[in-house]
Chain A
Amino acid sequence: MAEILVLAEHAGGEVKKVTCELITLARRFGEPAVVLAGAGAAQGQQRCAEFGAARVYTASDAVFDEYVVAPTAELLAQLVRDKAPALVLIAGTAEGKEIAARLAVKTDSGLLTDAVDLTPDSEGKPVAEQSIFGGATVVHSRVTRGTPIVAVRPHAVAPEPASGAAELSPVSLAAAVGGAKITGRVVAQRSDRPDLTEASIVVSGGRGTGGAEGFGVIEQLADALGAAVGASRAVTDAGWYPHQFQVGQTGKTVSPQLYMAIGISGAIQHRAGMQTSKTIIAVNKDPEAPIFELADFGVVGDLFKVVPQLIDEIGRRKQI
C-alpha cells in the first residue's frame, strides 16, 4: 500500500487538530506516514498513532525552528525522493502553503491549495474540491505531473480516531539548508481561546461594535461559547482588535461549524474568508446588510441589546 506523507503542525510535539484531520484524510489513499520536524518531534508520536498513522518520521534538529520554511521543505523533498509517496498532504495555513510551494518546485510536482475536500477518482488518484472567488464557484482539480501535493484547509474533514502502529523512524537532512534566520518570536496576545483557524465556533465582530471598548461584547460571547474571536477588516484597520484575528480576503480563511457575524455588513472582502462555514448566524442593525444573504439565522437589531441578552441566556441554559 502506498505511503501518504502528512506534514504535521505541532508546537513542541503537541500535534494540532488539523494534522489529525489530514491523517484521517490520508487513510482514504494509503498508509499515513506523518512527518514531524522541529523541537519535540518524537513527542507527537502518540497522537499520530491515535489517528491511524502507520509511520512517523521525526527530525528534531534545531535547524527546523531556526530558519523560515526552507529546511522543512527540503526534508519533505528528501522523503519524496526516498519513499516515493503517492500523495503529500500539508495544512493549508500561510506557512504550510509556503512549504508546499517550495516542495512543488523541488520535485516538479503539481500543487493544489485550499482544498476543502479530497476524494479518490476511479483510479484512486486524489481529486481536490476547492471553493474559489469568495466561495461562489466550486472547482474539482487534480495533479497531472509529479507527486500530488495538496494544501488542505482546516476543517476539511472531521478527525476520526483509528489505531496505527506509528512506527518511529528518525530522519535528518542530507545537506545543510539555511536561508532566512528566525532571530526572535514575539507573542502579541496570549489567550486561552482556541486558534482562529482551528476553532469549531468563531464569533466575529465588525464595524458595528463601534470601537475597541464595544468589541468587548464579542469576546464575552466567544467565551460563553468556547469560541475563537475574529474581526472584520474595518475593525483591524481601525486598530480596535489585533491584525492576526482578521477574517477575510486579506486575512484568515475560516470554515468552522458555527460562524457568528456580529455587526458585520458582509462585504465580499469578509465573505471570502468565512463563506464555507457550516452554519452562519448574523446580527446587524441594517436589514439590507449582505451578510443576511448567507445567514442560516439572522437578527435585525442592535447588537448591544441582542448579544448581552444572548450571553445571559447561554449562561442560564448552562445552569439548567
Chain B
Amino acid sequence: MDIVVCVKQVPDTAADRKLKPSDATLDRASVDGLINEIDEYAIEEGLQIAEAQREAGADAEVTILTMGPEKAAESIRKALSMGADQAVHLLDDGLAGSDALSTSYALAQVLRQIGFDLVICGSESTDARMGVMAAMLAERLDVPQVTLASKVDTDGSVIRIRRVSDDGYHEVEAQLPAVISVVEKINEPRYPSFKGIMAAKKKPVRTLTLADAGIDAAAVGLAGAATEVVDFAQRPPRQAGVIVKDEGDGGVKVADFLAAQKFI
C-alpha cells in the first residue's frame, strides 16, 4: 500500500507572523518554520495504517510529500525521523506565491507521477487556515474525498472513517485510492526516537523541480494565482477594556456591563 502524507511547513504560530510588503505573500524567512501541527497527526495516521498493513502481511510504504522552499527540508527530516520511509520535496522558485488552486494543481501532478493508494492531509494549516487542500486534490485526482476524519479504518481496499459534523459524526466509506484528511482528535503523534532521528539521515529524499514534475510554470507562483491581495494592515489593537478585581461583587459587575450593552 502506497501512502503519501502531504506536509506543509508553516511559521511558528507563537512567532510574530507577517505578510511581506513587497508582494503580500507570507514572510517565511523571518520566523522559525515547523511542521503544520495537524500534519503531524496525518503522519502518525499514515504510520499506523502502514504498520497495520505490514502486520497483516501486506507491503506498505509511507512517503512524505512537501512543496516549499529549501527550509522545508527541516520538516521532511522531522517526518522521516517519526518513521516515514522516504520523501519527495517539490522545490522550485517558480512556486513562490502560489495560491491554493495552483498548489493543488502542483501537488496533484506530483501525486500522479509517484502514484498512491492513499493520500493523507491535515484538515487545515495554521497559516492560511483555508481547509481546502484535501478536497481540491480529490477533485483533481478524481478519487473519493474522505475528509475531516476523527477515526480511520482500512483493509487496504475499502476505507471507512468518522467524518466530524456539527452535531457528532458521519460514517463514511469509499474505495481506495482516495484522499483523506484528519482532525487532531484522531491520534497522538509519536515523538521521534533517537534511533529514528539517526535513521532519518539515511532515508531517500527526492527533490523535484517544476520541469521534473511536469508542472506548467505559468499555472503556478504569483502569476498563476487566481486571487490577489489588494491591501493589508495590522489590526489596530482593541481598545483597552475595563478589568476589575473581584471584591465579592464580580458577578454583579459583569451583569451591570451586560445590561449596559443590552445583552440582558
Contacts and interface: CB of A to CB of B under 8 A. Distances in A.
Interface in A279-314: 279-281, 283, 287, 292-302, 305-314
B244 A113 contact: no
Nearest to B169: A186
B139 A73 contact: yes
B252 A313 contact: yes
A113 B136 CA distance: 14
Contacts of B13: 134, 249, 268-269, 272
A182 interface: yes
Interface in B127-163: 127-136, 138-140, 144-148, 150, 160, 162-163
Interface stretch (A26-34, A99-107, A208-216): A99-107
A268 B129 CA distance: 14
Given A299-B253, A306-B246, A105 B101 contact: yes
Most chain B CB within a 10 A radius of its CB, from A133, A137, A298: A133
B167 A114 contact: no
A283 B258 CA distance: 14
A185 B165 CA distance: 9
Contacts of B123: 94
Contacts of B135: 69, 97-99, 101-102
Interface in B214-262: 225-235, 238-239, 241-246, 248-255, 257-259, 261
Contacts of A100: 132
A300 B255 contact: no
Contact of A180 (B18, B146, B162, B228): B146
A183 B171 contact: yes
A98 B226 contact: no
Contacts of B162: 186
Interface string A156-179: 000000000000000000000011
B235 A135 contact: yes
Contacts of B263: 201, 225, 257-258, 279
A39 interface: no
A137 B148 contact: no
B104 A98 contact: no
A189 B148 CA distance: 19
B53 interface: no
Given A139-B19, A301-B250, A314-B255, A104 B136 contact: yes
Given A94-B148, A313-B255, A141 B229 contact: yes
B31 to A, nearest CB: 11
Given A104-B136, A296-B242, A141 B227 contact: yes
B170 A187 contact: no
B93 to A, nearest CB: 21
Interface stretch (A46-54, A55-63, A142-150): A142-150
Interface string A211-230: 00000000000000100000
Interface stretch (B60-68, B172-180, B198-206): B172-180
B250 A299 contact: yes
B102 to A, nearest CB: 10
A81 interface: no
Contacts of A268: 13-14
B261 A181 contact: no
6 contacts: A94-B123, A185-B171, A186-B169, A258-B258, A281-B257, A296-B239
Given A94-B164, A201-B263, A309-B251, 16 more contacts: A101-B100, A104-B136, A109-B226, A111-B99, A136-B234, A140-B230, A179-B138, A185-B169, A186-B162, A257-B263, A287-B245, A297-B257, A306-B251, A313-B251, A313-B255, A317-B264
Interface of B: 13-14, 17-19, 24, 37-38, 99-101, 104, 123, 126-136, 138-140, 144-148, 150, 160, 162-174, 178, 183-185, 225-235, 238-239, 241-246, 248-255, 257-259, 261, 263-264
